[in-house]
Structure formats: structure tokens, C-alpha cells
Structure 1
Amino acid sequence: MNEFTEREQITTNIYEDADRACGFVADAIERLLRERQSQGKSAVLGLATGSTPVRLYRELIRRHREEGLSFANVVTFNLDEYYGLEGTHPESYRRFMQDQLFDHVDLDPEKTHVPDGTVEREDVFASCRRYEEKIEEVGGIDIQILGIGRTGHIGFNEPGSGPESRTRLVTLDTLTRRDAARDFLGEENVPRHAITMGVGTILDARVVYLLAWGDSKAGVISESVEGQPSASIPASFLQLHKDCVFCVDGGAASQLTRVRYPWLVGPVEWSPSLVRKAVTWLAQKVQKPVLKLVDEDYSENGMADLLTERGSSYELNIDLFNQTQHTITGWPGGKPGADDTNRPESASPYPKRVLVLSPEPLDDVSCMGGTLHRLANQGHEVTVAYMTSGNLAVPDTEVRRTIELIIELGEGHEDQAEVSFARCVQRQLEEKGQFGLDTAEIRRLKGLIRRGEVRSSALMLGLTVDHLTFLDLPFYEEGRYRRFNVGEEDVNRMHALLEEVQPHQIFVTGENHDPLSIPALCFGVLRDAMEKSSDSEWRASCNVWLYRGPGGEWEAHEIDMAVPLSPSEFENKIQGIYQHQSQRSQSPSLAKNGAGNTWNVASELNHSTAQVYDQLGLPEYEAIEGFKKWSLNR
């Protein structure tokens, strides 16, 4: 511990990326396995599911295949299982573990344990007791691997779970079920109950490693590490463990005090970006416009050394005000013929070739619909590329509605090809049931539904069908959530589009997201494709602008370009979002704290950003969409 980490009640290691964090944990597991193997003893691992530990399991598989790491002496116990699912179900955690680890190493199947989700209700208590007894019989868990949910749950210990809780049947939180909705092709298909190890069971492990990636986990990581232990954040009870380490990437660490407010915990080097962050924070904290901050505000809030370095609050205030003011522009593509000295985007060339990348349909309009409308109306050559079809996010109910429409429209017509296709999909829906996998035909129809929604939305934004490109990247079309693998063809398709458009501007999201999320995978595809285009002439003059992503917005100090929206423009954006009918139910990526729908969440974010600018003393706007400039080399 040092002055920067003294607020942290759990040892927290911050890594450059998830792979480095997983390497650290894999080293610990390897040491344990080799030590126990040399002693002729078993090693007992507690394992987690979900996207978070997938990279760890891949690294362990690599070490098994390439370095001879053996799992023959390993006994495993999984944290949890959905209640009511057979182990063969594609979304069961038993199946997940087989796919992600067990089938790829030399584990004895008899030594792998996952809670039984099929036991009769009256036998659940006894089954859970037996699970606890099995852990005790092998001497307890040596290393427990954890992820963390947005509610602060570990395993399926939802808010309200205390440190005394043991393995038991639990009712899943609404937000937890919503987060799993896409895995089950609709929230209505997600089981309402699960069997989970208790917090107390987890605390009994000798060593605990909790993994977390992406800034969507930042808030709950901060609360768990720096807040008081509380049943409202079950992960906070890990503060009671004597050997627990949180291994997180920069995104997940971004709300820890030492990262978010480093000047409050120790001396810092005041870089321009840190000064901007600190002064913006100060104005919001004392609830004053920037230009009204005084020396006492700085000195009373841990920033006296900044005053000493810069001389006075007056100069600091002016600098921050000007910086923030210069981010505001109604011309996101640059204003032709204007002095662009203090504008975020250059005036020339005009018109610009603009490429907007949307990981899934709806991401573009929900995050930057107003800016899209501006770019199109101001005469730029705008191409919107939907990197994936988004077919996995379409509930079966939407497909049934579409099938009925196709069949009804086709009655009495000679050409029955569409009707035959619709009836084929109808049969396949019935055959797959509630939990089966979508066939290629079902996914095709779901993709067509989303294309139709995209076209309707584009019309609201002033775009035409000619402006739209559907990449249908193979990693998505051939995969499923948490089981995506990006390949060369994905990068080749993106590279071909870049070379065709040769953009002056690219708008994209995905940086600092969970590395296995669709936005992060798509961002990686773009990054690799741009590296392939490193010698292309267009690269030298291309600006890349990051939009924050569904359900989030950049903080004021992070914004390099702020595009204000008038009331009518904002309403136009909301109408564009509303065209995505299949996504009108709450989306995991857009729902905030479990409440709201796609257009309400977008409305709240854009209004909030405008309010922050207003509070800082800048002009008052109806709404603002924010963007951060990105460099491939950073």
C-alpha cells in the first residue's frame, strides 16, 4: 500500500489490457498446479463463467498445449448454474465450461463439479449442502476465480447477499436477467433462478482473484474496493478476505480514486489533460461556473500545488474555459471557408468523405444520430457501415410477427418463394423451442428485420439507402455471444471498405469496452484494418473520432468535439431510434441501472452532457453529443 492506494481496501492490480491481467492469474494457477503435482496432491480451483474469464481459460489451454501444463491433478468447482437447465443446454454453465476449458485440457471429468440445475425443487437444499460438503472433502478451494456483475454480484449472489450465505437457490435480479437476454435470445427466455455458491463459500477459498474488464464495470469496482462492505454490493465483502486481488484493466479501474482523482491522494505531475480533468471536476464539485472559481476553491479541494505551479486561479479558469468552448461546433465535418484554428475539425477538404462505423444496428443513431444528420445536411459524403447484422439481438416474437405478415401478403400470388421461406422459418422456430439455437434461416430473417429498421432510421437522419453498407462480419455471423473469434476475413472486409471509401473522418466506438464485447471486437477489426492501410495516402489526413457507445457518454473533460443539438434535431434523433422496433424492449447495452429504454437513455445522456456544459458556464443547449479524438499510435 502507498499514498495512492490507501483508500483501497482490496489489493487492486491495474493492467494495460485483459491479456496481461490473465497472464498474472495464469502464473499463479500454474505455480499451484506444478507445486501440487510435485507433491502428489490435488489442486482445487473455483471457476467462474461469463465473458470475463474466457481469456484466462484460453491462456491456460495454451499453456497446456504448448508448455505441457497438466490438469490431471486438478479438482474444479464452479460458482453457479442456471436452475432448470440441463448440462447440455447451450447456455448452461456446464456446457460453457466444457466448451471454454474442460474439453481442451487433461482434466478428469469426474473431478469437475457444477451445481445441478435440474434437481427437483424439494431436493435443492440437500443438493446445495452436498455441494458444500464435496468442497470440504477435498480440503477447500485453493484459488477462486471471480467476475463481477453490474449489480456488484459475485457468482449469482445478488444485492442482499451477506457474508454468511452458502450455496443455495437464488432469484435473479432484473438487471442480471437483462444482461443475459441476448445469450437466451430474449429476456423472456432467461431463467428466473440459479444455484450459486454463497459469499461465505467464496470467502472460504485460500486465494481469490477477481477479474474485470471495461469501463462498464468501473463504478462497481470502485464501490467494492473503496466503499464500506455492504450487502447492496456483495463483492464488497471481499474486503474481509485476507488474500484477495482484483485484476482489472484501465477501463475497469477508471473510477478508483487514484485514477479518477489522483490529486486527492498524492502529488501529481500536472499534464494539460490532468489539469483539464481536475478543473472541470472542481467546478462541478463546488457548483460554480469555471470563470467564477477562486483560489480558495483550489486550495480547499486538494489542488493547492496546482495553484502554486500556475500562479493563480484566473489563468487556470481562462485556459479551461477556452479549451471547453473550443470543443463546441455545429460543424462536425469542419466549416468550409472558416478559420479552423480553434475548431476541433479542419475546414478542408470539403466535402469530406465520412465513414461512420456501427458495431450493431442502432449503435450509430443512439450515440450520434444528431451528428449524422448534421454531416448529411452539410453536404458531406457519409457512409454508414453496420459491421454486424445484429441478428442475435432480435427476439423470436419479432420473427413470428414478420412471418405472419409475409404469409398474409403472399396469399394468392403466383410467386411463393417468400412464403415458402417464411413457412420454413416458422417450422424451425417451433422445432428449436425456447432455448434452441437459431438456424441459418432464422438468423437470416432476423438480419433482414434489422436491415429494414436501419433503412427506416436512415430516412429520419437524412440518409438514403445508398449511404448504407452492411459488412456482416463473419465472426458475428458464425458465432454467438461470448463465443466470438475474429479472423482474417473480418479484417479483410474492413480493410476493403477503408480502401474503397478512403475517409477523411471515421466515427467509431469500442475502445475500453469489455474485450469480448461486440463493440470492442469491432474496434479491434478497425484497428487491424487501419494498420494494413498504413501506407495508403488517405491515412495521413484521416481523423478518427470515438463516440462513447450505447448507454454511455464521455465526461466533459474527455470531449474533444461537442456537437450541440437543437430541440428539433434532438427529436429527429429520437424518432430515428424509435424506428428500431425489435430493440424497443430494454437493451443490456442501453439500459442504465436497469431502467429506461433506448430513446429515454439516449435522451438522458445527451441532455446531461448539455447540462454539464451549461454548469461550467458555456452556452445552454438542448442536448450535446460528444466525441474524443483517437490516434492509432497511442
Structure 2
Amino acid sequence: MNEFAQREHISTRIYPGADQACAHVADAIDKLLRTRQQEGRPAVLGLATGSTPVRLYRELIRRHREEGLSFAHAVTFNLDEYYGLDGSHPESYRRFMQEQLFDHIDIDPANTHVPDGTAAREQVFDACQSYEDAIAQVGGIDIQILGIGRTGHIGFNEPGSGPESRTRLVTLDALTRRDAARDFLGEENVPRHAITMGVGSILEARQIFLLAWGESKATIVAETVEGEQRLAVPASFLQRHKACTFCLDAAAASHLTRIRYPWLVGPVEWTPALIRKAITWLALQVKKPLLKLVDEDYSENGMSDLLTEKGSYNLNIELFNLTQHTITGWPGGKPNADDSHRPERALPHPKRVLVLSPEPLDDVSSMGGTLHRLANQGHEVTVAYLTSGNLAVPDDELRRMLEWMMGMQRDYPEQPSTAYAAQVMRELEAKGKFDLDSADIRHLKGLVRRGEVNSSARILGLSPASLRFLDLPFYEEGRYRRFKPGEADIARMRELLLEIRPHQIFATGYRYDPLSVPALCFGILNEALASFKDEEWLRDCRVWLYRGPGNEWETHEIDMAVPLSPSEFENKMQGIYQQQSQRSQSPGLGKKSDGNSWDVAAELNHGTARTYDALGLPEYEAIEAFKRWPL
């Protein structure tokens, strides 16, 4: 441990991305498998599900196919399973493991163990004890893989689970069920119970690797690694394990003290970005506007070395001016104006603006006010909805649409659309509660989202002609946690970029879980942009990142802050209201996901405005924030 990690109670390794972290864990599994194969003994692996370990499993499959890594001597035990689901259910963890790993390697099916989600209620206790016995009979788990939930759960050990807990039936936390809502096509379809290995069971593994990706995990990771051991955060009991390692990407590690506040744990090299971050933090910490900070504030908060070169007065002035210059009411640039201190250049005007929304609602929730400004200020705005968003439409929303269509049959019996509606209604009724949607159902759910988007666009001053629906294949052919973008997706993005040749691109997905829809779409954008690196239009293009629903840039990260008046803010809220199918849907809303989409957006935009006010900048009703992405 070095001085920067002194607050960390668990060994923590930080990697540039998930792939590098997975390679490290794969190395450990590789070594174990090869060693045990030579010894003729089983290698016992504890496995996890969800999007987090998917990249690890893909790397293990690659090593099996390309490097001869054998799983013939492997025995696996999965952490958990939804109670009530059999192994054929598309969201069962048995099915997940078959699709993501077991079907692609040379493991004996008899050596793969997943808790039985179909055991009769009176038999669950004995089944759980048998699961523990099976682990003991093979000598215990050698390497346990874990993810971490936003409640701090490992496996399905929800808050309240202690280090003595064993394999058992548990009731799922409301936030856990909400996070799984899209997988099950609605929160109402998510099982309320699960069978999970206990915290005590997990702690008996000889070696533990916990993986975490994306900024949505950053807060709970920091709390787990640096906080006290407590029942409210079951993962915190991993501090008791002597061979536990957290393998994180940079985003998931971003709230660790050594990353977030490095000046509090040791000497630092003061770059301009770090100075901005530190002084902004200082002002908010001591509850003073930037221009009122004094030498004592700096020296009492680990920043005395900053004073030696410039002194507090000059530091305060520089940061105040820098922050002030992020504010603009002209997100596309103000024509015929001095743009030397504005975040966006004045010319050309009007600009060709391309707004990329991974799913419908992402754009209006995060930058609806800015969209309205861009349209009103005469720019050529194109909003491209990269996916249909049909997977996020609950069955009841589609049922309402079908009932309306079928009701027309009374007055217009000759219309073929009514027969089609009746056909899809039959498909919907025949579909089991947890079954996959048919192609017709997904198509109509996509139309539900399109109708909502059109309503939002009208309120924001956008014409229907300015909207594009790319329906990227990876989404239409996949499911959440199982998406695999390919060349066809990149080709569609290239076609769009080549057609518009934008001066501005607004996008999101940076620092998200790498298998989330926003992150995948951001990766597709970057792949497409790379093919135009020598094009003149790209050299004249700026990319502005918005954070996506439920998240916002921290003040020190903001390069452009677009203030909204009360009427503009209300207009944005009206745009969000049109997304009726999403009122009960909350994935992607970060730690604030308990609220409706409009409440979350309001809280974030008001919060950014309050922070600017606290720093001594003008007081606004709300602010939407953007970060410039270097091309």
C-alpha cells in the first residue's frame, strides 16, 4: 500500500478500462486451471452474473479457443438465482451462464452448479444446505468472482446481510428490482425473491476478485473500500478477507479519495485541471464563494503548497473567471460576437448540429433546454435516436395502444390496422409474463416510443423532419446485458455523419458501464469518427458530452453551462412528460432512480444552478452542463 491508498481497507487495482482489468483476473484463473490440470485436481470457481463479468467470460472463451485453456478440471458454483425461474427462462442465471460461458468451453455440465430457483418453498432450506455441502465436498472455492450492486450487495446479499449469513432465500431490495426492470420488461415482472450464497459463504473462498465498471458504481465502491464494515453495506465485510482484490475501471474508481481528493492524502503535481477541481471543492467545502476564499482556507484543507506560487487572491480570480466563462446562453455560438471567452465559437452560423440519443428520452431529459435554444437560434438541428427503445416499454403501455386501435374496429371495420392490432394483442396475451417479445410486439413498442419522441420534439421546437431513427441492429437483435455491436452499427453511424457533416455533435455514454446502451453507442460513435480523421469537416467539428438521465457533470468538469429561465425549464419538463411509457421506468437514473424522470432531471438541473450560485456566479433557475470531448 502507498500513501495514496492509506484510506483503503481492501486491495484495489485501477485500470484504464474493463478489458485490462478482466485480463488481470483471467490471468489468475488461467494459472489456477493450468496448475490444477497438471496436478489432476479440480479448480473450483465461484461465478457471478449480470453485465459486469461478461467481458471476463469473453476473455476466458477467447483463451479457450485461441490458447488452449481447458476447463475440463473446473467445477463452478454460481452466487445466486432468481427464485421461481427455471433454467430455461431467458433471465434465469442458469440460462445466462450457459449463453455467456458454459456453452463455449469444454466444461463438464455436471460440474456447473447454479442454485435451484424452482425448489418448493418447504424444500428451499435443505436445497441451500445441500449447495453449501457441495462446495465443501470439492474443497471450497479457489477463486470467487463478484460484482457489486448499488445498494452494496454482493450476490443477492441485500443491506442487512451480515458476515455470518449462509446460502438462503432472500427478499430483493426495491432498488435491486428496479435495476433489473428492463431485463424483465418491467419492474412488475422482476421476481421478489432469490436464492443467494451468503456473505459468510463468500468469505470462505481462498481468493476473491470484485469487478466494477462505470461511474454509477463509484459511490458504493468508495463506501465499501474506505468506509466502516456495516450491515447497510454488505460488501464492506470483504475488508475481512486477506486475499480480496477490487479490480476497477477508472470511472468506478473515481470516488476513491486518492482519485477524487488526492491532495488530502499526499503531495500532488498541480495540473490546471487538478487546481480547478481542488479549488471548486474547497469553496463548496468551506461554504464560501470563490472570491472569498483566504489563505487559511487553503492551508487548513491540504492545499497550502498551492499558495506558494500564486496566493489565494490570484487563484480565486483565475478560477472565478474560468468558471464564469463556461456560462453561455448560446450553445451553438453567438454570431457577430467576441467568442474569445465563450465555450463555443461564433462561426459558422448557423451550424449543423447532430444530437445523438442512445434511447428516446436521453436527449430531452439531459439537454431538452439546450435543444430548444439551438432550434430557436436558427441552427440546423438533427436528433438521431440510435435505438428504438422498445425494450423499455412495459406490456401495459402496448396493451393500451392496442385497445385503442381495436376500438376503431367498431366504426372502421374495413381498416386492416385493426386486424393487425388484434393479432398483436393475441401475441401479447399468449406471451408468458417473462417471455421474450415477438418481432411484432417489439415493432409496436418502438412505435410507442416514436410517438412520444414526436410529441417531445414539437414542444422543443423541432420539426419531425429533424428526427432520425437509426434502429441500430445490436439493439434490435439483442437484449440488455447481452448486446454485441458490430460493423453494421458502425456503418449506419458513418452514413449519418457523412450525410450531416456536423459542426457540433452532442453525445453521451462516457464513463458508463461498458455494456450499457449509452456506452455501446458512444463506442460506435468513436469507431465511426475514426474513419473520418482526415476529413476537413471533422477538423471543424466539436463534440460536446452530456451525462445522460440521472447524472450530471461535476462543476469542475463543466466546459459549457447553459442556463435555463423558469419558462425554458418548464418547457423542458413538458417535453419529458410526453415520454409516458417511461414514467415508471428508471434504469440509468443513477442513485436518484427512485424518482420519476422529470423529478430527477429537475433535481439535477436545479442542483447545478445552486452550485454555480454557491461559487459566487449568477443565480439561475436551472443549468444544463456539457463537457468537451477532444477529437
- TM-score, structure 1 length as denominator? 0.99
1:436 aligned partner: 435
2:177 aligned partner: 177
By how many angstroms is 1:47 displaced? Answer: 0.1
For the residues of structure 2 that align with 1:113 and 1:231, how far apart are their CA atoms? 28
By how many angstroms is 1:144 displaced? Answer: 0.1
Do the aligned residues in 1 keep the contact of 2:61 with 2:101 (CA within 8 Å)? yes
Do the aligned residues in 2 keep the contact of 1:214 with 1:252 (CA within 8 Å)? yes
For the residues of structure 2 that align with 1:238 and 1:526, how far apart are their CA atoms? 38
For the residues of structure 1 that align with 2:586 and 2:578, how far apart are their CA atoms? 15
By how many angstroms is 1:410 displaced? Answer: 3.6
Q: What amino acid sits opposite 2:157 in the alignment? A: N
2:333 aligned partner: 334
Q: Identify if the C-alpha distance between structure 1 residues 412 and 586 changes in structure 2 by more than 3 Å, giving closer, same or farther.
A: closer
1:122 aligned partner: 122
For the residues of structure 1 that align with 2:359 and 2:407, how far apart are their CA atoms? 30
1:559 aligned onto 2:575: no
1:391 aligned partner: 390
By how many angstroms is 1:408 displaced? Answer: 1.0
Figure out how many residues of one structure are paired with residues of the other and give that number.
631
Do the aligned residues in 1 keep the contact of 2:288 with 2:614 (CA within 8 Å)? yes
Write the mapping of 1:178-327 to structure 2, written as runs, cut at 5 A. Answer: 178-308=178-308, 310-327=309-326
By how many angstroms is 1:550 displaced? Answer: 1.1
By how many angstroms is 1:412 displaced? Answer: 3.5
For the residues of structure 1 that align with 2:341 and 2:310, how far apart are their CA atoms? 25
Q: What amino acid sits opposite 1:404 in the alignment? A: E
1:63 aligned onto 2:63: yes
2:492 aligned partner: 493
Write the mapping of 1:111-150 to structure 2, written as runs, cut at 5 A. Answer: 111-150=111-150
Q: What amino acid sits opposite 2:427 in the alignment? A: Q
Do the aligned residues in 1 keep the contact of 2:333 with 2:346 (CA within 8 Å)? yes
Q: Deviations over 1:529-580 (max 9, x none)?
A: 1111222221001000000111000000000000000000000000000000
Helix, strand or coil for the counterpart of 2:360? Answer: coil
1:162 aligned partner: 162
Do the aligned residues in 1 keep the contact of 2:216 with 2:590 (CA within 8 Å)? no
By how many angstroms is 1:586 displaced? Answer: 3.8
Q: Deviations over 1:461-490 (max 9, x none)?
A: 010101100000000000011111101010
Q: What amino acid sits opposite 2:594 in the alignment? A: A
Helix, strand or coil for the counterpart of 2:5? Answer: coil
1:38 aligned onto 2:38: yes
Do the aligned residues in 1 keep the contact of 2:283 with 2:293 (CA within 8 Å)? yes
2:25 aligned partner: 25
Q: Deviations over 1:362-418 (max 9, x none)?
A: 000000000000000000000000000000000000111000001112433264321
Do the aligned residues in 1 keep the contact of 2:354 with 2:383 (CA within 8 Å)? yes
Do the aligned residues in 2 keep the contact of 1:170 with 1:193 (CA within 8 Å)? yes
For the residues of structure 1 that align with 2:137 and 2:577, how far apart are their CA atoms? 56
Q: Unmatched 5+ residue regions in structure 1?
A: none
Q: Alignment identity in percent?
A: 73
Q: Deviations over 1:6-49 (max 9, x none)?
A: 10000110001000000000000000000010101000000000
Helix, strand or coil for the counterpart of 2:4? Answer: coil
Helix, strand or coil for the counterpart of 1:4? Answer: helix
Do the aligned residues in 2 keep the contact of 1:181 with 1:189 (CA within 8 Å)? yes
1:465 aligned partner: 464
2:621 aligned partner: 622
1:446 aligned onto 2:445: yes
For the residues of structure 2 that align with 1:461 and 1:252, how far apart are their CA atoms? 34
Q: Identify if the C-alpha distance between structure 1 residues 591 and 242 changes in structure 2 by more than 3 Å, giving closer, same or farther.
A: closer
Do the aligned residues in 1 keep the contact of 2:207 with 2:243 (CA within 8 Å)? yes
Helix, strand or coil for the counterpart of 1:405? Answer: helix
1:523 aligned onto 2:522: yes
Q: What amino acid sits opposite 1:277 in the alignment? A: K
Helix, strand or coil for the counterpart of 1:549? Answer: coil
1:427 aligned onto 2:431: no
By how many angstroms is 1:593 displaced? Answer: 4.0
Helix, strand or coil for the counterpart of 1:119? Answer: coil
Do the aligned residues in 1 keep the contact of 2:392 with 2:585 (CA within 8 Å)? no
Q: What amino acid sits opposite 2:135 in the alignment? A: I
Q: Deviations over 1:416-441 (max 9, x none)?
A: 32112211111111221201100100
By how many angstroms is 1:591 displaced? Answer: 6.0
By how many angstroms is 1:592 displaced? Answer: 3.5
1:104 aligned onto 2:107: no
For the residues of structure 1 that align with 2:409 and 2:590, how far apart are their CA atoms? 38
By how many angstroms is 1:451 displaced? Answer: 0.1
Q: What amino acid sits opposite 1:538 in the alignment? A: W
Helix, strand or coil for the counterpart of 1:357? Answer: strand
For the residues of structure 2 that align with 1:191 and 1:53, how far apart are their CA atoms? 22
CA RMSD of aligned residues (A): 0.8
By how many angstroms is 1:594 displaced? Answer: 4.4
For the residues of structure 2 that align with 1:180 and 1:20, how far apart are their CA atoms? 27
1:85 aligned partner: 85
By how many angstroms is 1:333 displaced? Answer: 0.2
For the residues of structure 1 that align with 2:122 and 2:219, how far apart are their CA atoms? 38
For the residues of structure 1 that align with 2:411 and 2:593, how far apart are their CA atoms? 46
For the residues of structure 2 that align with 1:594 and 1:62, how far apart are their CA atoms? 36
Q: Which runs of 4+ in 1 moved over 3 A?
A: 591-594
2:584 aligned partner: 585
For the residues of structure 2 that align with 1:594 and 1:472, how far apart are their CA atoms? 26
- TM-score, structure 2 length as denominator? 0.99
For the residues of structure 1 that align with 2:504 and 2:310, how far apart are their CA atoms? 39
For the residues of structure 2 that align with 1:23 and 1:212, how far apart are their CA atoms? 14
Q: Deviations over 1:476-534 (max 9, x none)?
A: 00001111110101000000000101100000000110000000000001001111122
Q: Unmatched 5+ residue regions in structure 2?
A: none
For the residues of structure 1 that align with 2:39 and 2:133, how far apart are their CA atoms? 24
Do the aligned residues in 2 keep the contact of 1:591 with 1:601 (CA within 8 Å)? no
For the residues of structure 2 that align with 1:590 and 1:238, how far apart are their CA atoms? 27
For the residues of structure 2 that align with 1:473 and 1:230, how far apart are their CA atoms? 44
Do the aligned residues in 2 keep the contact of 1:289 with 1:615 (CA within 8 Å)? yes
By how many angstroms is 1:608 displaced? Answer: 0.3
1:380 aligned partner: 379
Helix, strand or coil for the counterpart of 2:169? Answer: strand
1:75 aligned onto 2:85: no
By how many angstroms is 1:589 displaced? Answer: 1.4
Q: What amino acid sits opposite 1:227 in the alignment? A: G
